[in-house]
Structure 1
Amino acid sequence: MEKLVTSNLKLGIIAGGQLGKMLIQEAGKWNIITYVLDNDENCPARSIASHYIKGDNLSFESVYEFGKMVDVLTFEIENVNIEALKRLKAEGVRILPDPDILELIQDKGLQKQFYESHGIPTSPFKLYDSESSIKEDIEKGQLNYPLVQKLRKGGYDGRGVAVLNNSDDFPKLLPGASLIEEKVEIAKEISVIVARNKSGEVKCYPVVEMLFDPAANLVDKLICPSSISVEQSEKAITFAGRIIELLDMEGLLAVEFFIDTKGEVIVNEMAPRTHNSGHHTIESIITSQFEQHLRSILNLPLGSTNPKLPSVMINILGAEGFEGPVIYEGLTESMAIEGVKIHLYGKKITKPYRKMGHVTVLSSTLESALNKAEKVKQLIKVKS
């Protein structure tokens, strides 16, 4: 087991959004020196990082020069210049999770092939180089509606995805290399976060259930514990653990699943980092996902993933029709409700559906937490 040297350990984080900020908040408890790379001088993490470096996460030069400043390099976003990471790795910089794993996960087509080759259940798919070839197969009857198109690279938070239910949706096709998969008849969407360190220790968090805002295509509520069966929960946890072992990965992995209308558990996609579906862990689980990520990449003993109380998390999103300097409504009233924990990310400008923060509601029962969360959702508004 490696020693944690808090007096001089330099941790680099590529991208300084809310995930980077919350990771730095945990690193600060251990007196770790933190560096953050981000092009946005007003990024949330800048205000608390030990050192802010202005630079583009897709620029070879920015990523390479940044990596040489630190002892351990990690990231809060998948869109990172892989060639720079590989050069740094070859020169001895510790990058966790490994660049080869990030390269696979960056490409949703390679992800699907990985699941297929290892017998991990996922929806049937085909890979395409362009939208024109997709149109040809639709016209030939080789693809049948409804179907889902996902760009192989660059998509996040619902972007880079097109759902085509019939021929009227034909204009929704996105340009670029993509995959087409059968539209799953979804009963529930769930997520499992799993961590693994260099010693091979693996810990999975309890399954969470995700309810989505159809307009924003973002998580509206996150529920823990989930309402799925014990068998379904065990399957999801087993698959998540198997995936991180197959990847031989050090770090935190979020695996999102569909449960279809037949009750089958199907892998949707994964992210090699802390994740929106784990924000509740800050208050509701003994070890938060951010602390666990640090433990895993520093090869420290992994922390307990046992829950404290039932919880519901809601995202605080920018209200539709508002863009500009942020104004929050309803925070005081929400804080008067027992068990409400508010996290504001520090973004100066609001936009429709932009993630501005989150709220975790803890209660003795899940029903009580859900009722309180609904009150908070009605109270808090983000305007300009």
Structure 2
Amino acid sequence: MNYFSSDFKLGILGGGQLGKMLLYETRKYDIFTKVIDPSEEAPCKIACNDFVVGDLMDYDTVMNFGKDIDVLTFEIEHVNVNALEDLEKKGVKVYPSSKTLRTIQNKGTQKLFYTDHKIPTAPFKRFAYTSEIKDSIENGSLTTPFVWKSTQFGYDGNGVKVIRKVTDLDGLPNVECITEEMIPFKNELAVIVTRTPSEEVATYPVVEMEFHPEANQVEYVICPARISDEVAQKAQQIAVEVSKAIGHVGLLAVEMFQTQNDEILVNEVAPRPHNSGHYSIEASYTNQFEQHLRAILDLPLGNTNSKVAGIMVNLVGAEGHTGNVKYKNIEEIMALPGVTPHIYGKKQTRPFRKMGHVTIVNEDIAKARSIAEEVKNTIKVVSI
């Protein structure tokens, strides 16, 4: 099929920053794109060929959007899977597939999948409602501390909470959820695996993630991870095993824990470009968005090696600031060596909302980490 400067149509469900960065690549190749998002102010609106406002969870909306699309992909998991399944039956290529998304979309189902396929993961329990957890604690079948996770609709740290005492459950939504055993880990790692319909597979280097202790959001992504070659090889091997078991097409970001004994446990996965791969825009030979595009179009995969060490710093809304956004001191960080800011195009900020990211590249990973710290301490995402 001729994808370039042709009548071919690529559909993208979701018009947020991930879609916007994917559109950088479609524009590079002159691929026609149609995007749907619930918000009229979605970041993708300025960069696609055709923009539609609509509810991604509504069956009819997704069906109508996808009926004239050749290949359909998504940048967010919160989409109507039944519609994707029926579009596949009508001949629309959906990557990753509805089957893959159905496995991943619910965290309880995802965890059971790991258990069934002997993929190492933290011990967990499933609950139909959060209110049932207190009974389990009272009868001794569950002990604190543990991690509470909503099985659906969590994002950017929402839907996750560490429960250290029973009263920490107060105020949580009474929804289907899981509890996970607290893992005393050394590092949180991630590996991005890419797979084509022809089953060509490529992996990116292991990255290390540092999280904000309150918001449960990634603050820094460090590539390469500061771990031994042996641990890195083990992490990549397990990521490929997860990818093969799920049978996805496109990008799969596999988040993991490195335990104190250097075991690797899979935390969760995302079947799309991911925050842990943003460093690749500046640091890799082939960035994750181009790679996802190559994969879903069944084109040869690009070189996943890094040209230079890279660190990504998330730009999130400062606490106490809600309203029209201002990137305070952005000129100061742009004067630092190897620094590139990415602004997502969200006009309104609020506490901990992802508003952009900054990549720092340097031949010396320690120097890059030092500059990243300076970036983090200098730029502030505030309201006017």
TM-score bucket of the superposed structures, by smaller chain? over 0.9
Identity percentage over the alignment? Answer: 48
Aligned residue runs from structure 1 range 320-331, under 5 A: 320-331=319-330
Instruction: Assess if the C-alpha contact under 8 Å between 2:4 and 2:30 holds in 1.
Output: no
Paired residues for 1:109-258 under 5 Å: 109-171=108-170, 173-258=172-257
- How far apart are the structure 1 equivalents of 2:167 and 2:67? 51
Which residue of structure 1 lines up, in the alignment, with residue 362 of structure 2? 363
Alignment partner, residue 71 of structure 1: 70
Unaligned runs of 5+ in 1: none
Aligned to 1:293: 292
Matched position secondary structure for 1:116: helix
Q: Does the residue aligned with 1:12 lie in a helix, a strand or coil?
A: strand
Residue 20 of structure 2 is matched in structure 1 by 21
State the partner residue of 1:276. Answer: 275
Q: Is contact 1:162–1:172 with CA below 8 Å preserved after alignment?
A: no
Q: CA deviation at 1:186?
A: 2.2
The Cα offsets for residues 148-183 of structure 1, whole Å up to 9 and x where unpaired, read as: 121111112111112111234242554111111211
Conserved? CA contact 1:162–1:174, under 8 Å: no
Kindly state the Cα deviation for residue 71 of structure 1 after the two structures are TM-superposed: 1.1
Alignment length (residue pairs): 383
Q: Tell me the distance in 1 between the aligned counterparts of 2:349 and 2:127.
A: 36
CA distance in 1, matches of 2:169, 2:150: 16
Q: Which residue of 2 aligns with 1:262?
A: 261
Which deviations, in whole Å up to 9, do the C-alpha atoms of 1:279-318 show, x marking residues without a partner?
A: 0001101000000000100000110001101111100111
Which residues of 2 match residues 80-119 of structure 1 at below 5 A?
80-119=79-118
**Which residue does 1:33 correspond to in 2?**
32
Counterpart position of 2:332: 333
Question: For the Cα contact (< 8 Å) 1:149–1:173, is it kept in 2?
Answer: no
Partner amino acid for 2:11?
G
Q: Please, which moves more after superposition, 164-173 or 286-295?
A: 164-173
Q: Check whether the contact 1:121–1:266 (CA below 8 A) recurs between aligned residues.
A: yes
| Superposed displacement of residue 215, structure 1 | 2.1
Query: In structure 2, how many angstroms separate the alpha carbons of the residues matched to 1:259 and 1:195?
Result: 22
Moved more, 282-291 or 328-337: 328-337
Letter in 2 for 1:176: V
| Helix, strand or coil at the partner of 2:233 | helix
Report the Cα distance in structure 1 between the residues aligned to 2:320 and 2:52, rounded to whole angstroms.
33
Partner of 2:55: 56
Distance in 2 (CA, whole Å) between partners of 1:15 and 1:167 is 37
Question: Does the aligned pair in 2 maintain the 1:146–1:166 contact within 8 Å?
Answer: yes
CA distance in 1, matches of 2:288, 2:128: 36
Q: Matched residue of 1:112: which SS?
A: helix
* Contact 1:24–1:48, Cα closer than 8 Å, also in 2: yes
In the TM superposition, residue 4 of structure 1 has moved relative to its aligned partner by 3.4
Aligned-residue offset at 1:5:
4.0
Query: Does the 8 Å CA contact 1:164/1:172 hold for their aligned counterparts?
Result: no
Distance in structure 2 (CA, Å) of the matches to 1:359 and 1:294: 23
1:4-63: CA deviation from partner (whole Å, max 9, x where unpaired): 343222111001000000001111111001111011111111011111001011111111
Aligned-pair distance for 1:221? 0.7
Using a 3 Å threshold, how does the CA distance of structure 1 residues 184 and 377 change in structure 2: closer, same or farther? Answer: same
Where do 5+ consecutive residues of structure 2 fail to align? none
Q: Provide Cα deviations, 1:220-255, integer angstroms capped at 9, x if missing partner.
A: 111011111211111110011111112222111000
Map of 1:307 onto structure 2: 306
Q: CA deviation at 1:380?
A: 0.9
Does the 8 Å CA contact 2:314/2:358 hold for their aligned counterparts? Answer: yes
- SS of the residue aligned with 2:183? coil
Q: Does 1:353 align with 2:352?
A: yes
3-state DSSP of counterpart to 1:176: coil
Cα deviations by residue, 1:55-77 (Å, 9 ceiling, x for unpaired) = 01111111111101321100000
CA contact (8 A) 2:4 2:29 kept: no
TM-score (norm 1): 0.97
Letter in structure 2 aligned against 1:288 = N
1:73-108 Cα distance to aligned partner (Å, 9 max, x none) = 000000001111111111111111001110110011
1:3 deviates by 4.8
Secondary structure at the aligned position of 2:131 is classed as helix
TM-superposed deviation, 1:327: 1.1
What CA RMSD, in Å, does the superposition of the two structures yield over aligned residues? 1.2
Distance in 1, Cα, partners of 2:148 & 2:333? 39
In the aligned structure 1, how far is the partner of 2:171 from the partner of 2:261?
Answer: 29
* Match of residue 45 from structure 1: 44
Partners of 1:137 and 1:225 lie apart in 2 by 41
